[in-house]
Amino acid sequence: MSNSKLKQDLIKLLGKEKVLSQDLDLLYYSYDSSFLTKLEPARPDAVVFPKSTEDVQKVVSYAYQNRINIIPRGAGTGETGGCIAIQGGIVLDLSTWKEIIEIDVNNMQVIVSPGVVHAELNDELAKFNLFFPPDPGSSKMCTVGGMVANNASGLRAVKYWATEPYILGLEVVMPNGDIIVTGGMKARCIKNVSGINLTKLLVGSEGILGVVTKIRLRCFPKPRARGIAMAVFDQLDDAPATVMEVYQAGILPSGIEILDSSAIMAVNDFKPEIKLPDAEAILLFEVDGNPPSVEYEGQVIQEVAGRRARSVEWATDPQRMVQLWEGRSVTAAAAARVRPDGSRIFAGEDISVPISRVADTLRALRKLAEEHGIQIVNYGHIGDGNVHTAPVINPEIPEEVEKVMGFVHDVHLLAIEMNGSTTGEHGVGVVRKVYAELEHGPAVEYMRKIKEAFDPAGIMNPGKVF
Ligand SMILES: Cc1cc2nc3c(=O)[nH]c(=O)nc-3n(C[C@H](O)[C@H](O)[C@H](O)COP(=O)(O)OP(=O)(O)OC[C@H]3O[C@@H](n4cnc5c(N)ncnc54)[C@H](O)[C@@H]3O)c2cc1C
């Protein structure tokens, strides 16, 4: 079908103001935050801005009849090319459909449309002393729909885990235009084991099984107190050992972050006034809860970490907490500056390994970087084994791009070798689908069968995940 016919049809369905098809407008939609789309941007044939389930249904039904691909998109902060029309088609930009439909305080849940931004939702929930705990670093930009599709999480996954356990039900426009509600048509309960759990199947399915148009999610009471501990280590292995000893002491912090020597150096170069101690590793513990429990947990962490660390500092004063955490807050930006002519790229940045193998993984990453001649900065969510590696290259130099792609491939193989996963939170999208068989074996065939059952015409976000 010609682009002008497609545009006319979409305007007939939704009205002119909800359709984009000018070349220049479409260019923006060739990218997300992945390095892949910097190398290979892919322009969609059209972009639409649905503002209701009916809008989504109209477009999906039309696409189904005409065998046109549909690509759901939130804020485009994904790191994997997941929302890119790599095989052409219509992008459904859901980021302008931001409606907090109902905050059901008594039942500790909220119903939202997919374009609501994570931080904005938590600002509203805070008025009722509630919060939605998963906390991606992109909180101020990413949509709840994108978080559902990618099962996003963040540094508090140690205690609060990822998006999935909070999703009680979804409204989904299926690839043939049908509308289903998972988790019970009329349900407002929190506990529910009725039927095959389609909600769980859809969360993390990266937009390849349907378009999420409504989300019913569970909220938690907002913790009233917080504390931060910083522990400084001369030996890398002492950092993961301390994490395990803190757990064994009966403490579950809300977050435990690691900066290795490469990250410490990057932060000190970027902002010397932060003055991170020169060390092999720094651990940052975050504890939350009620004031007496936070104090108690802080005491235990100081005592346990003090056995191996050169120094430990504990703070509950808001200003001091910000200072202790500042090194971690600026790590991503600092990584981008370690080479004046370089930029930090998002590729191979999200491996997940067993906590007991984090130190080995960090050493292996340094060795791989040396072998490939790539500069890297390492940090991550050590409390759950999610290691973020930031390769820094000059992306305008083809030889550097070639070298880094070799490095990234080895990083993904390393993750599987370490009994881990190629992705702890960012997802598979286009960039990691080649590892599906290696990581999951024959299970991939059953993933394909599920995809075919949901989407026999193969129009829903094709070319992603496997
Ligand atoms: C600076 C930065 C920090 C980040 N930090 C984190 C982090 O700490 N933790 C983490 O998990 N991620 C992180 N990310 C990655 C990203 O923000 C998350 O994956 C986020 O959930 C993507 O949301 P989005 O709205 O931008 O989705 P998009 O990038 O637009 O889309 C992501 C995927 O979701 C699908 N999708 C979007 N909306 C729908 C819908 N309504 N129905 C069906 N499918 C849909 C798309 O097709 C695509 O496959 C970070 C990204 C950046 C740029």
pLDDT tens, residue by residue, 206-239: 999 999 999 999 999 999 999 999 999 999 999 9
Residue nearest atom 37 in ligand 1 by C-alpha distance = 146
> Which residue owns the Cα nearest ligand 1 atom 13?
136
Which pLDDT belongs to residue 170?
98
Side-chain-side CA neighbours of residue 432 (13 Å): 32
Tokens 């001649």 identify what position?
373
Ligand 1: list residues with CB < 6 Å: 32-33, 71-79, 82-83, 94, 114, 136-138, 142-143, 145-147, 149-150, 152-154, 206-207, 211-212, 425-427, 429, 461
| Residue labelled with tokens 């935050």 | 33
What is the distance in A from the centroid of ligand 1 to the CA of 244? Answer: 30
| pLDDT the model gives residue 23 | 86
CA atoms of 345 and 336, how far apart (whole Å) = 8
How would you classify the pairing of strands 90-93 and 70-73? parallel
Per-residue pLDDT, 336: 85
Alpha-carbon span 156 to 150, nearest angstrom: 16
Question: What residue type is assigned to position 257 of the chain?
Answer: E
* Residue 228 CA: distances (Å) to CA of 66, 104, 255, 302: 56, 32, 9, 10
Residue 234 tokens, joined: 């001369």
Ligand 1 centroid vs 115 CA: distance in angstroms?
A: 11
Segments in the chain below pLDDT 70 = none
* Residue with CA closest to ligand 1 atom 53: 77
For residue 383, the model assigns a pLDDT of 95
Comparing C-alpha atoms, which of 375, 383, 366 is closest to residue 328?
Answer: 383
Task: Supply the residue whose CA is at minimum distance from atom 16 of ligand 1.
Answer: 78
> Dihedral angle at the C-alpha atoms of 248, 253, 255, 257, nearest 10 degrees?
-50
Say if residues 219 and 285 touch (Cβ distance below 8 Å): no
Query: Which residue's entry shows tokens 């459909």?
Result: 97
pLDDT of residue 21: 80
Task: List alpha helices for 274-397, DSSP H.
Answer: 291-306, 318-329, 331-335, 358-372
Q: Quick one: which atom of ligand 1 is closest to the CA of 212?
A: 42
Q: 153: helix, coil or strand?
A: coil
The closest residue, in CA terms, to atom 35 on ligand 1 is 207
**Does the predicted TM-score (pTM) go above 0.85?**
yes
**3 state SS of 150:** helix
**Residues 241-263: tens digit of each pLDDT:** 999 999 999 999 999 999 999 99
Q: Which domains does the chain have, with CATH numbers?
A: 100-221 (3.30.465.10), 223-428 (3.40.462.10)
Give the pLDDT of residue 212. Answer: 98
Is residue 155 within 8 Å of residue 177, measured between CB atoms?
no
In degrees and rounded to multiples of 5, residue 243 shows phi and psi of: -55, -45
Which residue has the CA at smallest separation from atom 9 of ligand 1?
136
